Structure 1
Amino acid sequence: MEKIVASVSISNVRVRKRNSVAGDADKVIVIPKEFEERVLAIAVKIEAAEDKIREATEKFNMQ
């Protein structure tokens, strides 16, 4: 993740110094510094759940 060093506005969203910006092919999100740890912890849990779903789907498709 990259950190910005100045405040900017993008599509009416204010991105401030110390916010984190993350994105993939579908979306971009701005995470205020005070929520960063909580958001990242939740994201790790979601990713683990999605991995389990993918594994189960792959096993089901192999049968």
Structure 2
Amino acid sequence: VFLSRNHLALLRDDIRNGWFPSSGNAPSCGGTLSAELQLVAVWAEYCIRTLDMERESVFLFAVW
């Protein structure tokens, strides 16, 4: 998935606002999923702050 600056910001905000399943919805791997989503939010914030989004693309590949 290629993401623009706006898509990264939306993804980051959705994770921070709890729009993704928590441990209550996935009892077998909820803690791991939550930790992975927080890492994605940190990565999105890093990309937003450091990349020249006019010239560079961000690619996200995830398998859950």
TM-score, normalised by the number of residues in structure 1: 0.41
- Which structure has the larger Rg? 1
Q: Give the number of the structure with larger relative contact order, counting CA–CA contacts within 8 Å between residues 6 or more apart.
A: 2
The structure that is strand-richer by fraction is 1
